[in-house]
Amino acid sequence: MNIIEVQGGVTAPQGFKAAGIHCGIRKNKEKLDLALLVSDRPCATAAVYTQNKVKGAPILVTQQNIADGYSQAMLCNSGNANTCNPNGVELAQACCELAAQSLGLKASDIVIASTGVIGQPLPLEPFAKGIPEITACLSRTGGTLAAQAIMTTDTHHKEFAVEFSLGGKTCRIGAMTKGSGMINPNMATMLTFITTDVAISPAMLNQALQAEVKQSLNQINVDGDTSTNDMATVMANGQAGNAEITQLNADYALFCDALHQVCVWACRQIAKDGEGATKLLECSVSNARSAQVGLAIAKSIISSDLFKAAMFGQDANWGRVLCAIGYTEGDFSIDKVELRLKSEKGEVLVCQNAAYFPFSEEEAAEVLSASEIQILVDMHDGEHFAQAWGCDLSYEYVRINGDYRS
């Protein structure tokens, strides 16, 4: 397996164009607020959505549009979530109609998404003005602008791409993602849009995405809030020319490996850019009794506000990790739990057999002074491995969310 990183984000795969502009949804004219992504040909499409009972209107429209397993374009605005609006569905449908007219497609070919403040009026006028304008801006190098246009409180845009080979054909997967606050996915990240030129059937693409979110995109926590607009989509246009993946085989396995690499990148980017965060936390659980138990333990640890606060304070309060493991649902033993804290500054063993292991507090504080911390948990209770990603909890988080709407 040879999967390498390449440049280009969502436009790295063959046949995709993108753009990002300011169309007037956001008050700050220096911030882009409309992104458009288009494929030269129809794409097999799969998506996962928030499990929040309150859902943004674009999710409901996208679910209808890709019910047949296909799409050809994605339109996303930032600054307003189009959630809890009395005419939200009609607005999202009207935006799809405008995009379809501008692109020469059908309205049902459009994936639509929104992110931003919940419960605020959203007029159609910015879209009526902006969609023709952004269509004229589409380019093979427009991925970066599109990634900037989907940002809310993100401190930087997030794009990534990988390249690999299937049956002698060069294939790529590209992605852009956004997310900084209101992150505790119960399906995916805040918003993640993935493109690929791999030929794969809608059924197999959906199977790959559904399996992947369980081990990566659902394993992020910034603040414990599950957004109303969470969505992750994958669009596959088949332009790489590989033999179409229609069953479980070696090509499918390699595609899933590449998809996993892209999704782990998204997890790390979102967690690292958590609102007010100063540290990326990556929890790895090894030798768990089952995959489900491992995932639950890792997510429990990085979701603990007390542990997150300790990481901000560079305090090796390992008891908070054991506490989080202990209240995790599932059938497993904690008797042999071993815990290490690791960073570029070193590594320290702080717990063995679920009990205190003598360590230097000064050495531990030095390890925790780094910007990326690994929490290494060995359950000694099975053979399964799982990961989760989060960030520390700082004073700045409260400041950001105290005046978010302003």
Tell whether the model's pLDDT for residue 180 goes beyond 80: no
Q: Is 189 a catalytic residue?
A: yes
Average pLDDT over residues 363-375: 97
Q: Show the tokens assigned to 40.
A: 């030269």
β partners of residue 139: 18
Kindly indicate the confidence band of residue 188, based on its pLDDT and cuts at 50, 70 and 90.
Answer: very low
Q: Which residues are annotated as a binding site?
A: 152, 178, 189, 275, 401, 406
The predicted-structure confidence for 93-121, as pLDDT tens digits, reads as follows 999 999 999 999 999 999 999 998 888 88
- pLDDT in the model for residue 246: 98
Sheet of strand 338-343: strand arrangement: 220-221, 384-391, 280-288, 372-378, 338-343, 346-352, 355-356
Whether residue 373 contacts residue 202, with contact meaning beta carbons closer than 8 Å, is answered with: no
pLDDT above 90: percentage of residues in the chain: 79
CATH number 3.60.70.12 given to 3-273:
yes
Residue 337 to residue 322: CA distance in whole angstroms? 8
> Residue 299 to residues 144, 185, 266, 331: CA-CA distances in angstroms?
31, 11, 16, 16
Average pLDDT over residues 224-238: 83
Average pLDDT over residues 271-294: 93
Average pLDDT over residues 206-232: 85
Question: 319: which residues sit within 8 A by CB, 6+ positions away?
Answer: none
Options 115, 189, 192, 195, the catalytic residue: 189
Q: Which residues are annotated as a binding site for substrate?
A: 152, 178, 189, 275, 401, 406
Whether residue 323 contacts residue 303, with contact meaning beta carbons closer than 8 Å, is answered with: no
The domain segmentation of the chain, as residue ranges, is 3-273, 280-403
DSSP track, 51-116: --SS--HHHHHHHHHTTTSEEEEEEEEEEE---S-TTHHHHHHHHHHHHHHHHTS-GGGEEEEEEE
Tell me, yes or no, if the pTM score tops 0.85: yes
Which CATH number describes the domain made up of 280-403? 3.10.20.340
Tell whether the model's pLDDT for residue 187 goes beyond 60: no
Residue 218 to residue 189: CA distance in whole angstroms? 7
